[in-house]
């Protein structure tokens, strides 16, 4: 059976993403940190890792991208997961009984308007699924948590309210990382990281390798280089597989112009989830 590592407790949104991508017949391995995901795959304790890399509301997850640069695992897939926050409580709790709501600070922030409308006090917790796990282990009167429906099923909590996030379009993008390389597919993406010489027009010339070949860029973002202050690396996603002729030519041209290039991987492009009504 395939084993996939993720950060968080069982019932985390990352685990929902894994089931969406691999199906229900998959074994999951909880990890405390993003770094432990990489270690689990590198040491053979997991076949793949599910790594959240950006959110449609909060933006890129910088730690995830830093680790992709530091390690040699390949990106072999992507997942778009609609984040649906649910209000969970111990069995028998009514909505009018709730006084305090626990969850990860980001989840609390994404449900801020809903909490304020009910006059509930937010209590930051280390993890969304962790807040559900802890409440199930030690029920407290007047306390609810924000987590996934999967967490409710795993820990035996009741869903008091569904889809309580303030923004309808709240989607997290995940990379599937592992040792394997994904074969070419008709609709693919390629992710790379590169740096440019510290001279005028260098970035323009690098990006021109894609523009002149009609290759669409789906992401471009800079991050500071840890070993060189005020120098930057660029994370780029483009349409196409690196083995496609046009994409390969662009990468060869980029290699000639950039200070360094690292191919993170080419993978089947995931279908964007429909906009909620």
Q: What is the 8-class DSSP label of residue 97?
A: G
Q: Which of 172, 190, 194, 210 is catalytic?
A: 172
Q: Is 168 exposed, middle or buried (0-12, 13-18, 19+ CB in 10 A)?
A: exposed
Cβ neighbours around 27 below 10 Å, total: 12
Cβ atoms of 184 and 241 closer than 8 Å:
yes
What is the number of residues in the chain?
277
Rounded to 10°, the helix 202-211/245-257 angle is 170
Q: Which of 22, 34, 174, 175 is catalytic?
A: 174
Q: Which of 70, 14, 79, 31 is nearest to 264 (CA)?
A: 70
Nearest to 3 by CA among 39, 72, 35, 50: 50
3 is catalytic: no
Mark whether 93 is an active-site residue: no
Residue 51 CA to residue 232 CA, distance in Å, equals 23
Element (H, E) at 67: helix 62-70
Instruction: Kindly list the catalytic residues.
Output: 172, 174
């Amino acid at each position: 059976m395939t084993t996939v590592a993720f950060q968080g407790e069982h019932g985390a949104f990352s685990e929902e993403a894994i089931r969406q991508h691999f199906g229900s017949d998959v074994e999951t391995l909880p990890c405390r940190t993003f770094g432990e995901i990489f270690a689990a795959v590198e040491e053979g304790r997991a076949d793949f890792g599910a790594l959240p890399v950006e959110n449609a509301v909060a933006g890129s997850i910088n730690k995830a991208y830093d680790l992709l640069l530091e390690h040699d695992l390949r990106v072999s897939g992507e997942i778009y997961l609609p984040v649906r926050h649910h209000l969970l409580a111990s069995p028998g709790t009514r909505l009018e009984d709730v006084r305090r709501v626990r969850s990860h600070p980001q989840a609390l922030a994404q449900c801020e308007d809903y909490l304020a409308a009910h006059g509930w006090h937010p209590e930051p917790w280390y993890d969304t699924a962790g807040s559900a796990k802890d409440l199930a282990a030690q029920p407290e009167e007047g306390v609810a948590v924000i987590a996934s429906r999967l967490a409710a099923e795993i820990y035996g909590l009741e869903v008091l309210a569904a889809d309580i996030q303030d923004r309808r379009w709240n989607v997290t993008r995940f990379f599937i990382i592992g040792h394997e390389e994904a074969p070419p597919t008709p609709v693919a993406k390629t992710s790379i990281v590169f740096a440019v010489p510290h001279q005028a027009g260098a970035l323009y010339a690098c990006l021109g390798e894609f523009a002149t070949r009609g290759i669409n860029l789906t992401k471009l973002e800079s991050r500071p280089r840890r070993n060189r202050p005020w120098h930057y690396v660029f994370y780029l996603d483009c349409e196409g597989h690196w083995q496609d002729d046009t994409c390969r030519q662009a990468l060869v041209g980029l290699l000639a112009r950039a200070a360094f290039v690292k191919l993170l991987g080419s993978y089947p492009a995931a279908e964007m989830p429909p906009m909620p009504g």
